[in-house]
Structure 1
Amino acid sequence: MTATLTAPARPEVSTSDSATTPRWVRPAFWGLLLATAVLYLWNLGASGYANSFYAEAAQAGSMDWKAWFFGSLDPGNTITVDKPPAALWLMGLSGRIFGFSGWSMLVPQALLGVGSVALLYAAVRRWSGPGAGLLAGAALAVTPVAALMFRFNNPDALLTFLLVLGAYCVVRALEKASPKWLAFAGVAIGFGFLTKMLQAFLVLPAFALVYLLAAPAGLGRRLLHLLGAAVAVVVSAGWFIAVADLWPASSRPYIGGSTDNTVLDLALGYNGLGRIFGGNGGGMGGGMGANVGFGGETGLGRMFGESFGTEVSWLLPAALLGLVAGLWFTRGRPRADRTRAALVLWGGWLLVTALVFSYMEGTVHPYYAVALAPSITALVAIAGRELWRGRAHLAPRLVLAAMVAVTAVWDYILLDRSSSWLPVIRWTILVLGILVATGIAVGVHEFRRVTRAVAVAAVAVGLSGTLAFGVATAAVPHSGSIPVSGPATGMGFGMPEGEAPSADLVALLRSSTEQWAAASHGTRGAASLQLSSGKSVMPIGGFNGGDPAPTLAQFQQYVAEGRIGYYVGEGGGMRGGPGGGGSEIAEWVQANFTATTVGGQTVYDLTP
């Protein structure tokens, strides 16, 4: 055992060694990308506008450049989404090129998924060979939460892509202690900040640790390179904060979710410490305890619980087992050993992110788990490959058998949570998993004719559960503010989507020539009105109606200037939540304008 697993690791082939690449690698790689594209692009428009909150912002960005740059919810630039706009930049540009629709909005998300699979393959392959790279990429592609988010319009698709890109750059940087590649990793994470703020920084401890530990250079050079990468992170993340916060507030939209109309407050408050410790920001509350849509109870079991379990934990027990065993077996290797460096890189990513998600007291949703998927699948592929290479020895063989067995048992438990859905799958996985694990443990591979069959069976058992649930996720439409994976069609949790307005109301709004065809409380009603009519609709108070944008005085001025066509009542949202002026605006409109009914909804004509 020691002779096999403590010798310095040697990659089977680098991506640059095309002359020595086995013939099967290239068609297998392109086949993986093709299958991933089919999984993510097939019937993509079935989910419609998916999350209407981000859909209305993507639509606004396809109509107005200022709205595109700031991530405004409406082309009139009342207020932004409560996230930075990087993901909306891609969706808005797609809408401008192809015409805005649910399909054009979601295509960039699906392509980001294909790109993430390709990058993960490339990163794992460089040190662990093409087989491990293909396994990691395939496992990522069929992870249920990945199949969900790469077909959805939340920012997590771009965030995941940028995190994997950053990890790939770190792998390249470690090979020759390259400050250039390390700086590229910093840029990727900086733009990750512009996608989902501080969540992007959760991988930085792992990136810094592995470079400090394993880069083939002196300590002084390693520290200097890390300093340069830190500067790259700050510059690539900070430029937008500087531009947005220095821009005159009177000529840009209100920063949704902030308490003082600044991006910096949004990053440190609602999307920063508020997420970790709970509390308020921009009218938004903290977590909801045991509520499944908000993460369930905090603690080490959260990633395996009802909220996160079926999203991402299918291979998590095997990944943790492989990480511990891999670090133990490589403990005596040289400082720059690549296998151990890979374990530290992906293991650090997994542990830090999972622990933060597990103990967050603020708002956390199940789909956040997509950020864990690349690290889990990479660890399983890397550890599985190394343990299989050491199968002639009892200890690695037993660990590998345990990884197969625990995956089969855990898949059975997860599938049993949807007990009415194809029960034969969970029983088949359980039985075959135990048989394959037993075969590995007793050394059936020593019969050369079955060696390859055992390896294929181990991979098949390991991927069967997540594959079945991932394909089932991609096969049905999902919508709403908190989507969840699985075979059930539905809206998930959270704020429901607004009902589609009547044809009469849509026609009325389309006839408007004002800057805002209408105003409505929150985004639930405003989004449906704007998406249906293609006209700018003011979302009073932002996401849940709680932001002070616009104030009553501003709203009165807009009406006096003839810039708002109609006020649509009962538009959803929390009318005048904490810090908002929605109630005051509603009362003022009701007191000064006459109500009519259009298509079952109360409408006030605000034109002079």
Structure 2
Amino acid sequence: MTSVDATNAQRAAAPWQRISLAAICVLSGVLYCWGIGGSWGNSYYSAAVKSMSQSFENFFFGSFDPAGVVTVDKPPMALWVQVLSVKVFGFNQFAVLFPQVVAGVGAVFLLHRAVRRWAGEHAALIAALVLALTPITVVINRDNNPDTLLVLLVVAAAYAMTRSFESRKATGWVALAAFLVGCGFLTKMLQAWMVLPAFIAAYLVGSRAGWGRRLLDLGVAAAVVLVGSFWWVVATALWPSPKPYIGGSADGSAWDLVFGYNGFGRIFGGGGGGFQPPSGGLQPPGSSQPPGGGGGFSGSSGVLRLFNEQLAGQISWLLPLCALVLVAMLVAGVRRWRGGRPLDREQAAGWVLWGGWLVVIGVMFSFAQGIMHPYYTTMLAPAVGAIVGAGVVRFWRWYREPQGKAWLLLPVGVAVTVAWAVAIVARDLSWHAWAGYAAAGLGVLALVVLVVGRRGKALARTGLALGLAAALAVPTAWSAIGAVSAQKSMGGANPMAGPETGMRPPGVRFPDAGDGGPPDGQSQDGGQNSVEPGGAEQRPILIVGGMGGGGSLSAEQRKMLDYVQANAGDLDVPLAVEAGSMGASSYIINSDMTVVGMGGFSGGDDAPSVAQLTEWKRTGQLGFVQLGGMGGMPRRDGMGDGAPAGAQPPGGMPGGEVRQERDEWVKQNCTPVDPAAWGGAADTAVQLYRCN
């Protein structure tokens, strides 16, 4: 199919094709929306949404706490959208997560629109269906991490790039794509820029303009990307003090966050605040697992990372088929070039765009040495869908040709895809093994029909339909199970699809939603090196250590909350958490008190500093401080639970010295409260201090 054919096909879409697209969008909406009113998702971000809704400064910076002391560890664009939803629907679980549903369905729709301009309506429908049914995409679109909005923005940018191939004066479309990538940067920083190499190469291949105009357009795009990406970073630097500390940074600035923890730290490891697994991955004491690069959440880095126990069931289902398609198209392109036939620029540009997207980002994720959560891989799903859609259409055309052996590519693609799906399921046959058996049965039937019925049009179409059903059987099952079971890892901070065995590093037990998980590696809030903003009338601040997470209050947290409320007097800020958001999130979500997470998400940020604590106490702003353990979790897995205040878990917690200095200051300057006074257990791992 030529680019002209593809354009004509999308303009002349049949009614059944329009109905099919609507059905796919409805299906994706149901999967993303089912039961979301019963979860806060990632309570870290949900708490920030509540705080951000209380003042413009909190909104602009992305403040984690109502006092505007510390921000979340990402730029705030994804949270801006969630705050707007809360303004419309009120602060509740549905309002926080509903924007994710809209963004997820929007990405499915825009991917269809982009692919149909390149490869036609049939390819576009397959691409949209693949994206809608990718397991990791389903579970992350039911959560409130920023990746959902990031995917929507980069898919929209890909649509703009596809439109740019159709005109000799494409500056506007290229600039729009650049602007959308800039918005992606304000959603998740440098991860959005990963698509740029593919976009640049695709434009150079596909543009109808001369080389001078192409370079001019790319120059304009570069300027738009830089301005769109960094205006917020510059604004935070120029904003007069006092202002929130940028969580996760080493010095409280967004510049450090860009190039440190959320930048090169993700690629090369280290850098930034928050939880950082050791270079060999997160391992239990005494583990004999050989060391390797990368964080423990996605296994060791390397060529086969996307196919390992943690990631295979999230995104790899169709990667073997993608590889087969790309190799086949490369061979076909070389043969076309050697035969002296002219290059179809728009078609070639599409393959460069989506193939480059998949290869570049796949390589980056495979070899990243820093923290790598499985849900990051949702960014691969649009490219997988586009390549599979266009590839299946191309394979079908070759399959129907009477001569040559290229017809074998379609049945081979089905066989390889089904075999890999069965292999993934076989890793844990105790978890819905029926899906693998169903895929195998459909696959065998599809192969028989494709081989026997090649000459018959109706039978061949039946074989194609069976092949698609077999290829998508297990991903569909895992997506549906992920939607209805609400299975989460680490309280919504590390959502994953599939069996529990793939959700955590071997031998390590992390508590789930509601019982106080350890840090998720998404670096953390920080505090503020100045008194609370808000003018001359300063408010006293209570700072407490964490007990739990997941968005709900435990019985012990509720007792402490009641005690603080009864004894805070006229204090305006009666609660906050040492060691960060693991406990502070629940307090912020479930009360109207101002809560400050001391030390950011995991307690590693130098905020508030000891000097700030001293100033707060001198001016009578500091109310209570709670210390103890790693967020005050009950002892379960040896990760420092129940340890004395300031103790660090195995594997290293950046900022441990900073936290210990704060803890020592609290012990020297504040008075401990008997746990019996507030209803705490005799063996509780936390200690409440009164500082006012």
Q: Tell whether the structures are fold-level matches, with TM greater than 0.5.
A: yes
Query: Does residue 483 of the first structure (1) align with residue 495 of the second (2)?
Result: yes
Which residue in the other structure is 1:300 paired with? 303
The 8 Å contact of residues 325 and 391 in structure 2, kept in 1 or not, is answered as: yes
Which residue in the other structure is 2:21 paired with? 29
Which residue in the other structure is 2:530 paired with? none
C-alpha deviation, 1:359, in angstroms: 0.8
Matches of 1:284 and 1:594 in 2, distance apart?
28
Which residue in the other structure is 2:439 paired with? 429
Name the aligned partner's letter for residue 519 of structure 1: A
Among 586, 590, 600, which residue is 1:528 paired with? 586
Change (3 A) 1:313 1:287: farther
Name the aligned partner's letter for residue 402 of structure 1: V
Change (3 A) 1:41 1:183: same
Which residue in the other structure is 2:627 paired with? 569
The 8 Å contact of residues 545 and 580 in structure 1, kept in 2 or not, is answered as: no
Matches of 1:83 and 1:151 in 2, distance apart?
19
Query: Does residue 188 of the first structure (1) align with residue 146 of the second (2)?
Result: no
Query: Does residue 309 of the first structure (1) align with residue 312 of the second (2)?
Result: yes
Matches of 1:228 and 1:451 in 2, distance apart?
49
Helix, strand or coil at the partner of 2:574: strand
- Higher mean C-alpha deviation, range 315-324 or range 89-98: 89-98
Helix, strand or coil at the partner of 2:575: strand
Which residue in the other structure is 1:586 paired with? 663
C-alpha deviation, 1:208, in angstroms: 0.2
The 8 Å contact of residues 442 and 467 in structure 2, kept in 1 or not, is answered as: no
C-alpha deviation, 1:586, in angstroms: 2.6
Query: Does residue 320 of the first structure (1) align with residue 323 of the second (2)?
Result: yes
Name the aligned partner's letter for residue 315 of structure 1: L
Among 612, 616, 622, which residue is 1:558 paired with? 616
C-alpha deviation, 1:165, in angstroms: 0.9
The 8 Å contact of residues 327 and 343 in structure 1, kept in 2 or not, is answered as: no
Structure 1 residues 491-510: aligned runs within 5 Å: 491=512, 495=519, 497-498=548-549, 500-502=553-555, 503-509=558-564
Change (3 A) 1:197 1:541: same
Name the aligned partner's letter for residue 447 of structure 1: G
- Higher mean C-alpha deviation, range 481-490 or range 454-463: 481-490
Q: Which runs of 4+ in 1 moved over 6 A?
A: none
The 8 Å contact of residues 322 and 388 in structure 2, kept in 1 or not, is answered as: yes
Helix, strand or coil at the partner of 1:565: strand
Structure 1 residues 415-426: aligned runs within 5 Å: 415-426=425-436
Among 239, 253, 269, which residue is 1:247 paired with? 239
C-alpha deviation, 1:380, in angstroms: 0.4
The 8 Å contact of residues 58 and 92 in structure 1, kept in 2 or not, is answered as: yes
Among 474, 480, 494, which residue is 1:465 paired with? 474
Name the aligned partner's letter for residue 660 of structure 2: S
Identity across matched positions, percent: 37
- Higher mean C-alpha deviation, range 405-414 or range 592-601: 592-601
TM-score normalised to the size of structure 1? 0.93
Which residue in the other structure is 1:545 paired with? 603
Among 408, 432, 451, which residue is 2:418 paired with? 408
Among 348, 358, 364, which residue is 1:350 paired with? 358
Among 1, 6, 11, which residue is 2:5 paired with? 11
Deviations 1:144-176 (A, max 9, x none): 100111000111111111111111111011111
The 8 Å contact of residues 198 and 272 in structure 1, kept in 2 or not, is answered as: yes
Query: Unaligned regions of 5+ residues in structure 1, if any?
Result: 1-6
C-alpha deviation, 1:44, in angstroms: 0.8
Helix, strand or coil at the partner of 1:83: coil
The 8 Å contact of residues 519 and 601 in structure 2, kept in 1 or not, is answered as: no
Matches of 1:90 and 1:507 in 2, distance apart?
33
Deviations 1:69-125 (A, max 9, x none): 111110111111111111111112222222212221111111111011001111111
Helix, strand or coil at the partner of 1:39: helix
The 8 Å contact of residues 100 and 142 in structure 2, kept in 1 or not, is answered as: yes
The 8 Å contact of residues 350 and 372 in structure 1, kept in 2 or not, is answered as: yes
C-alpha deviation, 1:254, in angstroms: 0.7
Matches of 1:431 and 1:83 in 2, distance apart?
45
What RMSD in Å do the two structures reach over aligned CA positions? 2.3
Query: Does residue 595 of the first structure (1) align with residue 673 of the second (2)?
Result: yes
The 8 Å contact of residues 7 and 120 in structure 2, kept in 1 or not, is answered as: yes
Change (3 A) 1:225 1:579: farther
Helix, strand or coil at the partner of 2:512: strand
Query: Does residue 125 of the first structure (1) align with residue 116 of the second (2)?
Result: yes
- Please state which structure has a larger fraction of its residues in helix: 1
Name the aligned partner's letter for residue 277 of structure 1: F
Helix, strand or coil at the partner of 1:485: coil
Which residue in the other structure is 1:445 paired with? 454
Change (3 A) 1:579 1:79: farther
The 8 Å contact of residues 317 and 475 in structure 2, kept in 1 or not, is answered as: yes
The 8 Å contact of residues 49 and 102 in structure 1, kept in 2 or not, is answered as: yes
Among 591, 600, 604, which residue is 2:689 paired with? 604
Deviations 1:444-465 (A, max 9, x none): 2311231321221121112111
C-alpha deviation, 1:26, in angstroms: 1.7
Structure 1 residues 76-155: aligned runs within 5 Å: 76-155=67-146
Name the aligned partner's letter for residue 473 of structure 2: S
- Higher mean C-alpha deviation, range 215-224 or range 526-535: 526-535
Name the aligned partner's letter for residue 431 of structure 1: G
Deviations 1:259-292 (A, max 9, x none): 1221111111111111111123235536553448
TM-score normalised to the size of structure 2? 0.82
C-alpha deviation, 1:510, in angstroms: 5.2
Helix, strand or coil at the partner of 1:568: strand
Matches of 1:336 and 1:234 in 2, distance apart?
32
Query: Does residue 229 of the first structure (1) align with residue 229 of the second (2)?
Result: no
C-alpha deviation, 1:403, in angstroms: 1.1
Change (3 A) 1:283 1:12: closer
Matches of 1:405 and 1:544 in 2, distance apart?
46
Query: Unaligned regions of 5+ residues in structure 2, if any?
Result: 283-294, 504-510, 521-547, 632-639, 647-653, 681-685
